[in-house]
Structure 1
Amino acid sequence: MNKRALWIGLVAVAVIGLIILISKTSNKPEPVPTPSPSPSVQYEIIGKSVEGRNIESYTYGAGDEHLVFIGGIHGGYEWNSVVLAYNAMDYLETNKESIPENLKITIIPSMNPDGVYKVLGKEGRISEKDAKPTEETIPGRFNAHNVDLNRNFDCKWQPESTWRGNKVSAGTSAFSEPEAQAIRDYMLKEHPSAVVFWHSQAGEVYTSECEDGISDETRNLMKTYAKASGYKESETFDYYAVTGDAEGWLARVGIPTITVELKTHENVEWDRNLAGMKSIINYYGK
């Protein structure tokens, strides 16, 4: 082979290689963006009880609209509201994809952990198996200062209030109790779109107000949860006079809030309340 033929061969090989390289480059797919991580659970200790137990919040999702669900303001007397809140956490943890992008959802499972401990003798997460049917639960309604926390908020507060016709302590002043302070500070910091308190027992859903009437948004919130859950709609709680309630104070600062009363003290009534919770999520979700 002469030099000319060798040179032509080398050029041909180079050209073919260049064509192959260009072809591979032009067919190379564009980089695929890394998918956003699923909503993570944000854990926060928002305060301490009288006896130093944590008041905890768990937040799912990262949207701008904020919904808050609270259990256990009356501690061990309404222990099923605490179990319900933990069940709701399990649901959100395993169904994160169901949380609309515009929402974040916070669960505060046990607002009165000292009251829970007084009845069940257990700290942290509780389940229905921890309940003691023969145990006297009324002492667990109050915090360790023997204050009814749902009488310690700044809505028509009085040093004494009533519960089922009995006099109860509402504290030395509005927000005298650390548990109430924790909720106050959290709500003023976050100013959520809506708040739902889980209580027991009445089988009803109530609105909230504090001398300024019931807002349309609060009324819609009540009707939405009641329709989905099958609990009775009730605009006002009129069984006896209540002062210093948390729901009323939240209404006073412009946060739509409802009270959901389970039908008994013994059951979580999960299907009803899952339907109610999902209805609120759908109401605010986009």
Structure 2
Amino acid sequence: MVKGWFVDDDSWYYTYSNGIMAANTTIQGYTLGSNGAWIANLVNPKQAYSYNDLMADINKFKRNFPGFIQTQIIGKSVDGRNIYAIKLGRGEKEIFFNGSHHAREHMTTNVLMEMLDQYASSYSAKRNFNSYNVRDLLNKVSIWFVPMVNPDGVMLVQEGASTAKNPQYVIQLNGGKTDFSSWKANIRGVDLNRQYPADWANIANNTGKPAPENFKGYQPLSEPEVQAVSNFVKTHHFKIATAYHSSGRILYWNFHQATAAYNRDYQIAQKYSKLTGYSLVFPGPNPSGGGFTDWFIQDMKMPGFTPEISTHTYSKPVPLSNFDTIWKENQSAGLLLAVEALKL
């Protein structure tokens, strides 16, 4: 007879010494649902979510969801920090989410990590999430997350120049200021979302040299963070990809698609817009390229989306007080797009 904690079908349970399984209670600080399965809550999204928090939570996921959640290091940042990819699900079809291409937009990591946490716990506890049958869906579709594309930049914004290997260089690029809250670029002053080879030559407002924002680099794919993401995508066949940014409560979805792909993507974009309340953006005949989803749409020829979370923050990080609203708008996005992926 099993006593104590045990795993069955990717779920944790607890059996008392008399053989009765615990349910609707808390054991050793862990909450068990009506069917006895542990309901996880591993991520704290209401904090300035750092690279160190990401590493700690990845280890929690490995311990608490053995065999279900997979992680891998897909590359290194300029300063040598790991760029992590996390897989949730068992399905053959795959979709992809990434966040924090831009340093000051680190709230996007909070959203993706909470998404990962809530979906994983719903799967484990065999419960629906906002009417979605998570277990059935994630047995058909796997969701990959790269929650923090730009870990050096995120740490610079959150904790300052001391987190950089060359503090004086970033202070110099920042005009001598030690307040890095408006910084978008990676640690050597390249804007990672202007690095992808999608009409790169014609990107507007390029600074021409390293800067806290808008420098597209001296050539596309020059930065290791972008190389990591690009190479990772090329080793998969993602049906849909989404790059989270902030701010403006708008949704980009279009980049020179042919008519059939345009109509396909527009149908999904309308559903995404309805879910979040974000306005669809039509970029016109000459959209500025260089972004991840521009490249994904162009080269992978599949739907790509860029949600801009939060009301405008005017070149500053999204306040933590905005998280509850942002989460309400985006909490089902991964499941919505997983459903759409099944049709592609």
TM-score normalised according to structure 1 size: 0.75
Counterpart of 1:205 (choices 251, 255, 266) is: 251
Runs in 1 of length 4+ with deviation above 4 angstroms? 35-39, 210-214
> 1:170 aligned to 205, 216, 223, which one?
216
What is the distance in 2 between the residues matched to 1:217 and 1:142?
33
The offset of 1:281, in angstroms, is 2.6
Task: Classify the secondary structure of the residue corresponding to 1:154.
Answer: coil
Q: Of 174, 195, 200, which aligns to 1:152?
A: 195
Q: Secondary structure at the match of 1:153?
A: coil
Query: CA deviation digits over 1:119-141, x for unaligned, max 9?
Result: 11299xxxxxxxxxxx64222x1
Aligned to 2:71: 43
Give the whole-Å Cα distance in 2 for the aligned partners of 1:51 and 1:170. Answer: 19
CA contact 1:159–1:170 (8 Å) conserved in 2: no
Secondary structure at the counterpart of residue 138 of structure 1: coil
**1:171–1:60 distance in 2 versus 1, CA, 3 Å:** same
Question: Contact 2:94/2:238 (CA < 8 Å) preserved in 1?
Answer: yes
The change in CA–CA distance for 1:281 and 1:211 in structure 2 (over 3 A counts) is: closer
Equivalences, count? 239
State the AA in 1 paired with 2:69.
V
Aligned residues: CA RMSD: 2.9
Alpha-carbon distance in structure 1 between the residues aligned to 2:242 and 2:143: 11
In structure 2, stretches of 5+ residues that fail to align are: 1-7, 12-66, 127-133, 164-178, 312-317
CA positional deviation for 1:172: 1.7
- Structure 1: gaps (5+ residues): 1-34, 124-134
C-alpha displacement of 1:93: 2.0
Q: Structure 2: how far apart are the matches of 1:144 and 1:159? A: 24
**Cα distance in 2, alignment partners of residues 69 and 281 from structure 1:** 11
Secondary structure at the counterpart of residue 187 of structure 1 = helix
Q: What letter matches 1:236 in structure 2?
A: P
Task: Call closer, same or farther: CA 1:196–1:237 in 2, change over 3 Å.
Answer: farther
Residue 272 (structure 2) aligned to one of 220, 225, 234: 225
Task: Name the structure 2 match of 1:106.
Answer: 144
Contact 2:90–2:142 (CA under 8 A) maintained in structure 1: yes
Q: Which residue of 1 aligns with 2:154?
A: 116
| Letter in structure 2 aligned against 1:225 | Y
Q: Percent identity?
A: 25
Q: Which residue of 1 aligns with 2:88?
A: 60
Deviations 1:86-130 (A, max 9, x none): 11121122122414121001111101111100011299xxxxxxx
Bigger-Rg structure (1/2):
1
1:223-272 per-residue CA deviation (whole Å, 9 max, x = no partner) reads 1211111111223379x962311111101111310000112322231011
Residue 241 and residue 219 in structure 1: after superposition, are their counterparts in 2 closer, same or farther (change >3 A)? closer
Q: Distance in 2 between matches of 1:103 and 1:235?
A: 29
Superposed counterparts of 1:263-278, under 5 Å? 263-264=310-311, 265-266=318-319, 267-268=322-323, 269-278=326-335
Partners of 2:287 and 2:270 lie apart in 1 by 23
Q: CA deviation at 1:212?
A: 5.0
**Once the two structures are superposed, what CA deviation does each residue of 1:20-51 show, in whole Å capped at 9, x if it has no partner?**
xxxxxxxxxxxxxxx85467001011111111
Matched, 1:138 2:182: yes
CA distance in structure 2 between the aligned counterparts of 1:271 and 1:223, rounded to whole angstroms: 18
1:282 partner letter: V
2:21 paired residue number:
none
TM-score, length-scaled by structure 2: 0.63
